[in-house]
């Protein structure tokens, strides 16, 4: 049996419940006058002996969502499920996945360890920034790659495109997406000054003259990475730039920045607790991959 526990404001909860015909367990939550959170499962007895899936995401309001998720997992665990799965498509803090400068924490590791110590047995996430993050989780973890779905969707807006990763770190997700869609791929060389945050790009020898380019990345935050890559690619003769990125945080003026850099379309996955409404933005449906993974988890008994 499968039970699903999630916040009603996150649309993925409903999708999972409907597609898996699972039992939804409601959550009552409130904030105490002093600002502390309170959560209570409405029918905890339904969870007993089931595979309990806590559906959450850690953006926006990362700290608040993290704490609420931990509280929920703790409550679920106390209801004696067979296993507790956390479906968290976006893991906040994942970019701080190592010590870049002396004195820093490894925030990403801390987050997944907190989830583990609250009682998560299986962590199911989407296109995590780097697999290093999941190595810190000592339960089982699954990283669902969706760049192939995003690029497939981007093909509706491009012809004979080449797939480009904005840096070597994004090459694996770009190559996966390109191979699945029979496309060529390459990457740009990016150098970031760790102290000032300034980014410089060195274009590689790629023939993009007159061709559409699909830029594949995991996160768009300020839009700086994609905007700079787009400008370089357009200067080097690209015809159109379509962006396929998994987590569209799109902070502040990010969309404007991308539009003025010449981006013609932005394809995103619905992994966050917020959706952007803009004529450049389209969302690709990734729920079938998540359903597939949840089915495997239930069948495997692990
Ligand atoms: C960096 O390594 C990530 O993969 C993204 O490229 C980066 O986080 C995007 O951030 P921004 O949109 O602020 O440039």
The Cα–Cα gap between 19 and 13 comes to: 10
Both 153 and 280 in one domain: the answer is yes
The Cα–Cα gap between 115 and 237 comes to: 46
Both 89 and 102 in one domain: the answer is yes
Both 116 and 192 in one domain: the answer is no
Pocket of ligand 1 contains residue 221 by CB under 6 Å: yes
Mutate-to-test residue for ligand 1 from 219, 248, 257, highest number of ligand atoms within 8 A of CB: 219
Determine the distance separating the centroid of ligand 1 and the alpha carbon of 81, expressed in angstroms. 37
Determine the distance separating the centroid of ligand 1 and the alpha carbon of 247, expressed in angstroms. 10
Residue nearest (by alpha carbon) to ligand 1 atom 8: 219
Both 240 and 173 in one domain: the answer is yes
Structural domain count of the chain: 2
> What is the number of the ligand 1 atom nearest to the C-alpha of 225?
14
Both 131 and 101 in one domain: the answer is yes
Pocket of ligand 1 contains residue 97 by CB under 6 Å: no
Residue nearest (by alpha carbon) to ligand 1 atom 9: 220
Residue nearest (by alpha carbon) to ligand 1 atom 3: 219
Lookup result for tokens 């690209």: 238
∠ Cα 228 231 236 (to 5°): 130
Identify the domain containing residue 269 by its residue range. 147-284
pTM attached to this predicted model:
0.95
Pocket of ligand 1 contains residue 219 by CB under 6 Å: yes
Determine the distance separating the centroid of ligand 1 and the alpha carbon of 267, expressed in angstroms. 16
The Cα–Cα gap between 174 and 186 comes to: 8
| Residue 59: per-residue pLDDT | 97
| Residue 195: per-residue pLDDT | 78
Question: Which residues are identified as catalytic?
Answer: 190
Both 19 and 128 in one domain: the answer is yes
Both 6 and 125 in one domain: the answer is yes
Mean pLDDT by groups of 10 residues along the chain of 302 residues: 86 92 96 97 97 97 97 98 98 98 98 98 97 97 98 96 92 95 90 74 75 97 96 93 98 98 98 96 97 93 68
Q: What is the CATH number of the domain that holds 239?
A: 3.40.50.2020
The Cα–Cα gap between 242 and 155 comes to: 9
């Amino acid at each position: 049996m499968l039970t699903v526990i999630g916040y009603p404001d996150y649309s993925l909860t409903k999708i999972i419940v409907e597609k898996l015909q699972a039992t939804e367990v409601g959550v009552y939550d409130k904030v105490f006058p002093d600002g502390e959170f309170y959560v209570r499962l409405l029918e905890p007895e339904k969870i007993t002996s089931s595979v309990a899936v806590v559906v959450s995401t850690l953006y926006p309001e990362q700290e608040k969502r993290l704490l609420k998720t931990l509280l929920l997992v703790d409550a679920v665990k106390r209801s004696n499920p067979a296993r507790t799965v956390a479906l968290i498509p976006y893991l906040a803090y994942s970019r701080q996945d190592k010590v870049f400068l002396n004195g820093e924490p490894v925030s990403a590791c801390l987050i997944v360890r907190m989830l583990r110590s609250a009682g998560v047995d299986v962590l199911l996430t989407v296109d995590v920034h780097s697999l290093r993050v999941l190595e810190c989780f000592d339960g089982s973890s699954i990283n669902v790659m969706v760049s192939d779905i995003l690029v497939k969707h981007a093909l509706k807006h491009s012809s004979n495109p080449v797939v480009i990763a904005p840096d070597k770190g994004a090459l694996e997700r770009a190559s996966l997406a390109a191979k699945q869609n029979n496309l060529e791929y390459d990457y740009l060389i990016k150098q970031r000054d760790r102290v000032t945050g300034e980014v410089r790009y060195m274009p590689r020898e790629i023939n993009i003259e007159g061709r559409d380019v699909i830029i594949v990345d995991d996160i768009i935050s300020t839009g700086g990475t994609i905007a700079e890559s787009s400008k370089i690619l357009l200067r080097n003769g690209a015809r159109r730039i379509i962006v396929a990125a998994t987590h569209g945080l799109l902070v502040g003026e990010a969309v404007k920045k991308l539009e003025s850099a010449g981006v013609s379309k932005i394809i995103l996955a619905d992994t966050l607790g917020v959706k952007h409404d803009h004529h450049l933005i389209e969302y690709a449906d990734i729920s079938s991959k998540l359903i597939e993974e949840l089915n495997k988890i239930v069948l495997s008994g692990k």
